[in-house]
Amino acid sequence: MVRGLVIGEALIDVVDRPAATEHVGGSPLNVAVGLARLGRPVDFLTHIGHDARGRHITNYVKAAGATLVPGSTAAARTPTARATIAADGSASYAFDLDWQLSGTPPVAPPLFVHTGSIAAIREPGCLAVAALLHAYRVSATLSFDPNVRPSLIDDRDLARDRIEHLVERSDVVKVSDEDLRWIYPDRAPERTARTWLASGPAIVTLTMGDRGALGFCAAGAARVPARPVRVVDTVGAGDAFMVGLLDTLWELGLLGAGRRADLRRIGLDGMTSALEAAALSSALTVSRAGADLPDRATLQRQSNS
């Protein structure tokens, strides 16, 4: 169990700047690619087409060092998301996406399994994702990022129920204040993060844009500021944060079902280190166009500067 497994959507982001440009995207894909760029062995299970855009995604994943799980290219066409970038760098999306999965991926029992966003909510694939997480929990740390896409959600209550179920089953949860304001419009995000921690996870992290991030664990709460950076766009910011968080927990030897008790005992020093690494990864990503997550050499240079 030395490899991670990421399950979720991969797509092509068509970004209006105002001239349209295309980037490989998808929240789970960004996490898989980001970890691979840091030298972490990771498999990626998705649902894309065997078309030109699908081949572009396949080559992109392989170039990063991640492994595309067999069966991931069975879609009729590769999904797309048209992203509109606002003046402050924030992005809104319109999706053309079909999300399906079937069967158990032909990979060895993973050290961790990460999922989130569309993959966790959209039928019919979300049902298969939930079943896979249930099966893998015996061997793997489970991590989850809701990364809500409201334009794809018809039933808010059902989506909330699915998110809450995955939170309860997960060990590590990352969520943004923007997501929590959509999920629970009448609750303060910090209150929800603390409630989620009490429901099952060992760690819940809350990202708050330029106000930094909070991390909640049994030892208490840690907070780190956002790193000052010129924002080009925020595409992939939360995914980069998730990568930095998982990479640090991997480095600390806290991943894998056998380390679940140790993960629950993480101290505030360890929590703060993970948040700082995650914030750095996110800052470097928003300073570049598209979800261009940093490699290990880039992180090390910035950490030493």
Strand 112-116 relative to strand 141-145: parallel, antiparallel, unpaired? parallel
Which residue has 């290219």 as its token pair? 73
Alpha-carbon distance of 57 to 304, in angstroms, equals 33
Domains and CATH numbers, the chain: 4-101+109-292 (3.40.1190.20)
Backbone φ, ψ for residue 292 (5° rounding): -100, 85
> What's the pLDDT at 86?
73
| 124 preceded by a cis bond (ω within 30 of 0) | yes
pLDDT for the residue 228: 84
From the first residue on, what is the mean pLDDT of each consecutive set of 10 residues in the chain (305 residues)?
A: 92 76 90 97 96 96 96 94 73 84 88 96 94 94 95 92 97 97 95 97 95 96 90 80 97 97 97 95 81 84 75
- The reported pLDDT for the residue numbered 18 is 65
**Residue recorded with tokens 């898989």:** 32
The confidence score (pLDDT) of residue 210 equals 87
What pLDDT is attached to residue 223?
97
Entry pTM: 0.93
151-156 LR contacts (CB < 8 Å, sep 24+)? 151/93, 151/94, 151/95, 152/95, 152/97, 152/118, 152/121, 152/122, 153/121
The confidence score (pLDDT) of residue 17 equals: 65
User: How much is the pLDDT for 106?
Assistant: 87
Residue pointed to by tokens 């991030």: 213
